[in-house]
Amino acid sequence: MSFFAYDATGDMQAEGVALKTIAGQVGTPFYCYSAGALRAAWQEFAVAMRGMNASVCYALKANSNLAVVKLFGDLGAGADIVSVGEMRRALAAGIPAKKIVYSGVGKKPSELMAALQAGIGQINVESSAELETLNAVAGQLGVKAAITIRVNPDIDAATHEKITTGRKENKFGIDIDLAREAYTLAGKLPNLQVVGVAMHIGSQLTTLDPYRDAIARVRGLITQLRADGHRIDRFDIGGGLGIVYADEQPPSVASFLQLVAKETDGLGCELTFEPGRRLVGEAGVLVSEVILVKPGVSRTFVVVDAAMNDLIRPTLYEAWHDIVPVRRPRPDAATIRCDIVGPVCESGDYLAQNRDLAALSAGDLIMVRSAGAYGAVMASSYNTRPLAPEVLVDGTRFAVVRPRPSIDEMLSSERFPPWMEPA
């Protein structure tokens, strides 16, 4: 089921709300999320996990809007976080601390202390140095920290080089060939409680083969660790399952979990999944208004009011997002080949290049699909452009769940030093 579709009159709807209606009240650009799509994505995991000793911790880095996090929390999700800020968001959204997993390659002592004081359920440690630091912090607080060690299985996830995390040249985790030494160290530190093993091999995976290979390698490690005397009760498999941006055919959640169940059969571990993009990516869109159309000698530029500061994925990852008019074109409408660009002063400021679209004019609205993940969370105020608001639609109702800041609000957060105060 598509939660973003044209209605009988040709207007693009988000569930039961016309995007042009939201644009008229909120202004453009804006992000729009479908609560129905979020619930449907969650349900895929809930159904496929039946009978498994498993849980889902939603990866906030994909989309950390409080309303989105709360929606998943109310459905039973825990949270996968990579900063104290994300921890505060998860807690504010009502997710119990014991259902929060703290990942990340560089956690400062103050951040580890905050996590332990909050009662976080699991810390995924990514280096021997972090083991020492966490042990010291836990000792100061008089607690035992429940940890897994994130291992790097040296598996190529066959995804974009900037979002692969499971190869030995990536910064994440401890090389699987060095993992037993790290567990030996952890077992000697009095303020740590080893509970399992973690991995995460990358993002936007569109084949299951890397998961199969990585799980096999980590399963072998678990056997070795148990032989060494370590108690390994949890296997945190991470996330990374891909979505559709263009013509990808990512595996279904059911087939992914069937593979995991087969490859972990008899292992006796509680499994943790940390999906982010798969839960939110296709549930969100970015809506923008055409400012002007600028014909050129070599190409036509459609200048819109959304820019690379609003959605950086095309520039940063060479990412492809499907873009459609909010008003359905006539079947016989002429098309133009164009670049869809923003007003930011950078040549890299584009949402799409060399696209064939129905002719657009100033004032027309466009919709960028599959923008629910790594869109709003990676946005910036470059060029002093206010962050785009976020809107949640649920059936026939909608609400702004993060307003657009005014420029006065943006300026008010800055200060002159005493010697530069205006007269």
**Would residue 238 be called left, alpha or beta, if left means φ above 0 and alpha means ψ between -120 and 50 degrees?**
left
DSSP H/E element including 182: helix 179-188
Distance CA 416, CA 423 (A): 12
Q: Residue type at 93?
A: A
SS3 56: strand
SS3 115: helix
Distance CA 339, CA 351 (A): 8
Distance CA 2, CA 103 (A): 33
For the chain, helix, strand, coil in percent to 5 are 35, 25, 40
Distance CA 125, CA 165 (A): 15
- Annotated catalytic residue: which of 57, 269, 338, 345? 345
Environment class of 420 (CB within 10 Å of its CB; exposed 0-12, middle 13-18, buried 19+): exposed
Residue 269 annotated to the active site: no
Residue 304, number of CB atoms within 10 A of its CB: 29
Give the residue among 133, 137, 117 at the shortest CA–CA distance from 125: 133
The full length of the chain comes to 423
Residue 248, number of CB atoms within 10 A of its CB: 12
Residues taking part in catalysis: 345
